[in-house]
Amino acid sequence: MPYLMGLDISTTGAKALIIDESGNVVAVANTPQPISQPHPLWSEQNPADWWDGIASSIRTALSDANLTGDDISAIGLTGQMHGLVLLDENGDVLRPSILWNDQRTQAQCDYMTETIGFERLIALTGNRALTGFTAPKLLWVRDNEPEVYAQVKQMLLPKDYIRYKLTDTYATDLAGAAGTSLLNVAERTWSSEVLEALDIPADWMPPVHEGTEVTGTISQAGADATGLKVGTPVVGGGGDQAAGAIGMGCVTPDKIGVTVGTSGVVFAPLAEYAYEPDGRLHAFCHSVPNTWHFMGVMLSAAGSLQWYKDTFAPDMNFDDLLKEAKDVPAGSEGLFFMPYLTGERTPHPDPLARGAFIGMTTRHTRGHMTRAVLEGVAFGLKDSFTLIDNAGLPDEFEVRISGGGAKSPFWQQIIADVLGAPLVNINTTEGGAFGAAILASINAGLYEDVATACETMIQTGDKVAVGDDQAVYAERYAIYQTLYPVLKDTFAKL
């Protein structure tokens, strides 16, 4: 039986997953990853830790499945997007990787916008210049660490450093490259206009590939470190959100993905390239060849509930906490929660946005506050859903939901009522690594295309219909939309 492997370099762990040709998960191993915050706003990791972690996870997964490297037909890669890895002429790492959640680069974002022009930058790259993206990080190194910048010969994304260590090949996938702010997203190639405007050498950029294309094969050094077989193909894969969407089966425009993890994501595949003129939605290449996607991201989704529990009810479990909220009527009797605990991205690209409870009275209990948090996150997802809807959703579509926060049927019902759309659960919770393995299945000759693979490997489960509270939430959402504009200047002063 052929087996497929998906590798995921996330911010918190290096995961190796093995599935069979039917999509059954055979083994999963995850090695936790340390993170460094040496200064305010900084967030960094050591690429050597990723390599040690993924090599350990691969060996553990193979052992747990009682398999050898000979049993793996193909490998897909995914991981955190936007991170900057800089290598010298010998392929050695020059400095710690600056991660997606690093916030030090606002001055460089402003420079990019001024140099290229706001409208032109969005037209070319599909996005505003944001502190999380890769290009501003590269400019920051040029501005602040010129001795490092002078040695740069190659720029990679986090998962592509693992690709390099496995295959001795420089390459990246189009979904990941679209998050650098250096790709011409419509043409699916590096933007010579952006590179020239920013004076970034084009030969630092790795070759780009579709998610199902072979980018290299396991080298002898890669095999020695991991137990994989020399010559095993490694495909392009995708950034974590695109690969995660494939793991949900969101590969055609009629399937929308909602992920309620630490952050919240609404993912909408596109058959043709499009972008939101104000840059409030991300427009990226999908890992499905020759397709694109819109994506809205809120930074604190299930993370808001985790913070709330840790702060106000540390001794309670989530089930008991949510049970109190079930006794509170929809709308929390006028109490609102703004889920901007770590700033916001969609629809308000504002790192200075802050969380808030608004409308509190002596009538309100902890149950009201809990329900307000659940509703506030649902309203945040609705912001992205509304922008995508305005850009043009198909007449008929299905919303698939995943993520740790999506495990609660109560919260799912609130989200369905707020979105005004039924939700569909899926059979897997392995996210990006599962999607990366699906992408590898095409090269292994198991399936003709990604959509066919998803139809076979992904099964849908319980459905959540829109309930009676939809009308209440429509009224509350209209009020919610007025809150950020009123408080924006106050947040900045704070």
Cβ atoms of 228 and 58 within 8 Å: the answer is yes
* Start-to-end C-alpha separation, the chain: 59
* Residue written as token pair 């499905």: 288
Q: Which of 8, 102, 240, 469 is catalytic?
A: 240
The answer to whether the beta carbons of residues 33 and 10 sit under 8 Å apart is yes
Q: Where are the beta strands (DSSP E) in 408-478?
A: 423-426, 460-464
Which residue stretches of 248-284 are H helix?
A: none
Point out which residues pair with 172 in neighbouring strands.
208
240 is catalytic: yes
CA atoms of 156 and 205, how far apart (whole Å)? 7
267: exposed, middle or buried (Cβ count in 10 Å: 0-12, 13-18, 19+): buried
Q: DSSP of 180-212, one letter per residue?
A: GT-EETTTTEE-HHHHHHHT--GGGSPPEE-TT
User: Would you say 228 and 162 are in contact if contact means Cβ atoms under 8 Å apart?
Assistant: no
Q: Which of 37, 39, 33, 68 is nearest to 53 (CA)?
A: 33
Q: Which residues are catalytic?
A: 240
